[in-house]
Amino acid sequence: MLQSDDSRPVQPSPNPFFEADVLPYGMPAFDRITDDHFQPAMERGMAEQLREIAAIVGSNEPPSFANTIIALERSGGLLTRVNRVFSNLNGVDSNPERRAIQRELSPRLADHRDTILLDSRLFGRIEALYAQRETLGLDPESLRLLERYHLDFVRAGARLTESKQRRLRDINAELADLATTFSQNIMAEVNDAALVVDSEDELRGLSAGSIRAAAAEARERGLDGQYVLPLQNFSNPPQLVHLHDRKVRERLMAASLGRGARGNDFDNRDIVARTFRLRAERAALLGYDNHAHFVLEDQTAGTVGAVNDLHGRLAPAAVANARREAEELQALINETEAEPFELAAWDWQYYAERLRQRRFDFDDEQIRPYFELDSVLINGVFYAAERLFGLTFEERHDLPTYHPDVRVFEVFDRDGKPFALFLGDFYARSSKRGGAWMNSYAVQSELLGGRPVVGNHQNIPKPPEGEPTLMTLSEVTTMFHEFGHALHGLFSNVTYPRFAATAVPRDFVEYPAQVNEMWAVWPEVLANYARHYETGERLPQDLLDRVLASAQFNEGFRTTEYLAASIIDQAWHQLSADEVVGADDVLDFEARALSAAGIDLAPVPPRYRTPYFSHIMGGYASGYYAYIWSEVLDADSVAWFEENGGLDRANGDHFRATALSRGGSADAMTLYTDFAGREPDIRHLLERRGLLQEP
């Protein structure tokens, strides 16, 4: 028992996961949850679910949809609840205690899942129902639930022999452990590899606010008098746009590209090589040629060939565009530098910004004062949601959060009734993983009665106390993008939690978010939020026109760096286990894959390199292509909105009813054609990215 300072016994605090929800919408009681609550709650949750499964398979009644599929859908409530909170917190506010729990429980949770999915008696009941599915009188969503559960069990190995199932369980447990170590290494090295500089002069070109933030970051690390530039998830640090000192740019790029392969405690090369080998072995056990074949069979793409064809169609035009851009940047260097040098990766962003200024007569610092965070969120993101869907938002200060920077908004539907909570967590911090994402703390379903609690997360540098948060256009677009994911969660209107929110194929999940980006520069929305943070003056029309005119500028670079990462993902996952190279050859394999695809352009590194490619070590394994696959649908949808009147309630209600509210309850491409009334046309994407011309 715990002891207090005066030696009197202290009773452990009651575990809030063992109590009924007391906060609105099932909002987690962050003010009461402590780290020592997680493991007992997950252990009880696993035990409870196994008892629930035992009751299903031990029934003397013949299998029915109610006593098998519905019972399975209801099982594991406590485990789902606590795991959702724990996994989300580990991404947004990690600490050593949570990381230790994650390391211990990840393989156990994987084994728990296998225990259920490889239960022959449970699968026997599901297979019996599947065989008679057309005669059960099920509604379409219930029929799809039965079919999906059957597919889940088959793809998990339910038809394998006992010896192969034992090997499969070992593989899954090891993969869970490797994924945990990889993610923890990534977070640790983002902090460890941050660039430290000694003088303000080395930061020439950065804004005064950015320099103050770098000094504040250094002070937090005990480096008074120095400056720290934190790294972000992707290869190209955003500071490269502005840093005048070429040596500092080179050091910053080297720090970024070297992550996960520096021979230190956070080196991930052994981990990624072992992961790819185990994934390939697992795919072979399940009867597939490779991991990509296994994954893509259950996506809208359908086949490895479809993804390879997409890459093959886009890469040559993208690289040709990037080469033309490189020639322009080299010409600018030759013209403006007293001692010209060859364009390198750490130069691209800097000179691209100089060229953009020359060509379009504006820079990021001119527009940042018009993109103050509160105005972008409330007068931009929320305003567009109100105009399109009838939603309104009211900030609540009475609900507990996991960090002081997190804000909570109650969401009111088009009829004025409250129906969900939205959490906004926008600032970077050392305990938070990089990038931007949406997650759910609670999901809607008619079966269980849940209502949505969703969060959006970014890594915007927090300014010094008392200063405004002025965003780049990229950060603004990201905020609209992530809110598109949030809308997907908020609008969920399904019967079964298996289909709730963003439970759709990986190559469809990005689609609603990418569509929502269009409102960031929609004239009516932009006019409402893009106002000078001091004067309230609107973004001048001539400046706006120049910003919009630059939309395809540097598009060759952007598309090439993305496709390079996507091709790396497929290259690894289209290998057999015997073909996966060892740790020492990881970077060489990556280089060979890019060369073979004709996309090895030295000044344009992949958006992510293998040792820090978090997407493909997580849910996007063999799936990083999903962004551009979804963008085909997105670009076609933008054309649909433009053809049908744009920011209009009727359009929003139609989009909500046909696509956003249905989660995974129907085939993804069926949802798309229900919305658009047509098959998507790739020409809209090619036009957007400037890829229509021949290379």
Tens digits of per-residue pLDDT, 459-510?
999 998 899 999 999 999 999 999 999 999 999 999 999 999 999 999 999 9
Best CA proximity match to 441, nearest among 459, 426, 425: 425
Kindly report the number of other CB atoms within 10 A of residue 121's CB atom.
Answer: 11
Answer yes or no: is pLDDT of 303 > 90.
yes
Q: What is the pLDDT of residue 693?
A: 60
Tens digits of per-residue pLDDT, 25-66?
999 999 999 999 999 999 999 999 999 999 999 999 999 999
Q: Sheet containing 392-396: which strands, arranged edge to edge?
A: 392-396, 407-412, 418-427, 453-460, 437-442
Q: Which of 695 and 320 is assigned the larger pLDDT?
A: 320
Answer yes or no: is pLDDT of 397 > 60.
yes
DSSP string, 563-631: HHHHHHHHHHHTS-GGG---GGGHHHHHHHHHHHTT---TTS--SS-GGG-HHHHTTTTTTTTHHHHHH
Report the C-alpha gap between 208 and 14 in whole angstroms: 48
Report the C-alpha gap between 368 and 376 in whole angstroms: 11
Distances (CA, A) of 324 to 56, 316, 355, 695: 63, 12, 13, 10
Q: Which of 21 and 192 is assigned the larger pLDDT?
A: 192
* Low-confidence winner among 229-233, 557-561, 575-579 (lowest mean pLDDT): 229-233
What percentage of the chain reaches a pLDDT higher than 90? 91
Catalytic residue, candidates 189, 202, 217, 482: 482
Residue 482 bears catalytic tag: yes
Answer yes or no: is pLDDT of 107 > 80.
yes
